[in-house]
Amino acid sequence: MRILVTNDDGIYGPGLAVLEDIARALSDDVWVVAPQGEESGASHSLTLADPLRLREYNERRFAVKGTPTDCVVMALKKVMPEPPDLVLSGVNRGQNLADDVTYSGTIAAAMEGTALGIRSFALSQAFGFQKREKGEQPVIQWETARKHGPKVVARLFDLELGPGTLLNINFPDCPPDKVTGIEATSQGKRDQNLLVVDERIDARGNPYFWLGFRREMSNPGEGTDLRAVMDHAISVTPLHLNLTQLDALEALRQALREKV
């Protein structure tokens, strides 16, 4: 099995090393093509107005000065001699749950792999769910993803997903031996808007702004990705490239039949 490994945290991201360990537990034919720097929040963007720079670190290990989507395109169309059997994206530093999926570069890389006809999984390691003292930095439980990742990926690899479908896998914020299981989940919806705009002043007295997220607990519904991870389970959510809202389609057709 040939595996392409990528991410959105960059070629030096700690989660990429974890994902390489997961991939090498399953195959000896592993290729790494990742962004040169951090591309978190890049979503499914392509670099069209600037040239792409490709750097080879060693055999089967490359960095692209571009987005996660660029990396998958370059891997399949320029770097790899044959297409991979599997695209693994991650392991992201932080969860990709609920509304996150529309922003995530990690998920976008898996989307691009899916669009190009390759089975693709996005993997993320949740953190920030544990209570901590004010000012205390969260501990990222990389060993949870490292230990459980190979068996989860192996278990899901032969699953018939149908065209246009990718899997979004989130590991919970707990030690490996505290994981309660693995659950098939739906994409949740947070009950509050966590995106904040932090206004600051630079050394010249000019304002600038920093986007970020508040980390607050919610009360998500049963069966969602949020609830599974909150309950220390590994969440697996099937996502689809077709974003058509089918429930609204008939009402739209009816409205368009009416005379203006």
Q: What is the pLDDT of residues 230-250, one digit of tens each?
A: 999 999 999 999 999 999 999
For residue 10, give every residue at least 6 positions away whose Cβ sits within 8 Å of its Cβ, in sequence order, or none.
Answer: 16, 34, 35, 36, 37, 38, 39
Q: What is the pLDDT of residues 26-49, one digit of tens each?
A: 999 999 999 999 999 899 999 999
Residue 43 forms part of a structural domain: yes
Residue 203 forms part of a structural domain: no
Residue 242 forms part of a structural domain: yes
State the pTM of this model.
0.91
Residue 197 forms part of a structural domain: no
pLDDT of residue 219: 75
Residue 158 forms part of a structural domain: yes
Q: What is the pLDDT of residues 135-164, one digit of tens each?
A: 677 899 999 999 999 999 999 999 999 999
Domain that holds residue 33: 2-189+218-257
The DSSP element (H or E) to which 149 belongs, if any, is helix 142-157
Half-sphere exposure of 101 (CA within 13 A, CB side): 26
Instruction: Give the span between the Cα atoms of 144 and 10, in whole angstroms.
Output: 21
Residue 49 forms part of a structural domain: yes
Q: Please count the structural domains in the chain.
A: 1
Q: Mean pLDDT over residues 200-223, rounded?
A: 83
pLDDT of residue 259: 66
pLDDT tier for residue 178 given thresholds of 50, 70 and 90: very high
Residue 70 forms part of a structural domain: yes
Q: Are 150 and 23 in contact (CB under 8 A)?
A: no
Compute the mean pLDDT over every residue in the chain, rounded to the nearest whole number: 93
Residue 199 forms part of a structural domain: no
Q: What is the pLDDT of residues 69-87, one digit of tens each?
A: 999 999 999 999 999 999 9
Q: What is the CATH number of the domain that holds 227?
A: 3.40.1210.10
